Amino acid sequence: MLRRTFSKTQSRTFSTKVPILERLSKGPVLGDGGFVFELEKRGYVKAGPWTPEATCEEPRAVEQLHIEFARAGSDVMQTFTFYASEDKLENWGQYCKDAYGTKQINDAACDIAHKVADEYGCLVAGGISQTPNYLSGKGKEAVQKVFQQQCDSFTSKNVDFFNR
């Protein structure tokens, strides 16, 4: 497992990614997380809706948080895609729905996570988000459609694995 502690003169670039199963065979694998709350504290997302529009509106802030997690020792960069589903965007107002769609948010989140993961030798996990369709009882097909949209985006962006 790679542990990243750096002095100001050390290189921060890792050229190879160690696959998840190999990492797990050597011990715990650490992931990043807490994007919603941290970006809320920093003023980049709104309390309540917690939609990941910051991925598109403030990509440098999202990238910086990934960097901080990588420098703290995370082995996995999770895409900032919490609630990046069409049904969630619809639930929280016209702005989110009109401004960004699931594909745009998820693709941007993957690009940011890959950029940092490549620099620090981390893996990228596509963060599959829950769906309000489940909570509102819209049925199995509606829920599966939301999950499929997210998975399609992650697959096209070559994430290393999915997580929930």
Domains in the chain: ranges and CATH = 27-163 (3.20.20.330)
Least confident of 128-132, 138-142, 148-152: 128-132
Distances (CA, A) of 132 to 70, 94, 123: 31, 16, 28
Cα–Cα distance for residue pair 128/149, rounded to 1 Å: 10
Q: Which has the closest alpha carbon to 81: 39, 21, 133?
A: 39
- In this predicted structure, what is the pLDDT of residue 8? 38
pLDDT per residue over 60-104, tens digit each?
A: 999 999 999 999 999 999 999 888 887 777 776 555 556 778 888
Per-residue model confidence (pLDDT) at position 71: 95
Residue 19 has pLDDT above 60, yes or no: yes
Q: Say how far apart CA 92 and CA 158 lie, in whole Å.
A: 29
- Mean pLDDT of the chain, nearest integer: 82
Comparing 121 with 101, the larger pLDDT belongs to 121
Q: What is the spatial distance between Cα 71 and Cα 73, in angstroms, rounded to a whole number? A: 5
Q: Between 3 and 74, whose confidence is greater?
A: 74
Tokens matching residue 160: 């290393």
CA of residue 40 relative to chain centroid, distance: 15
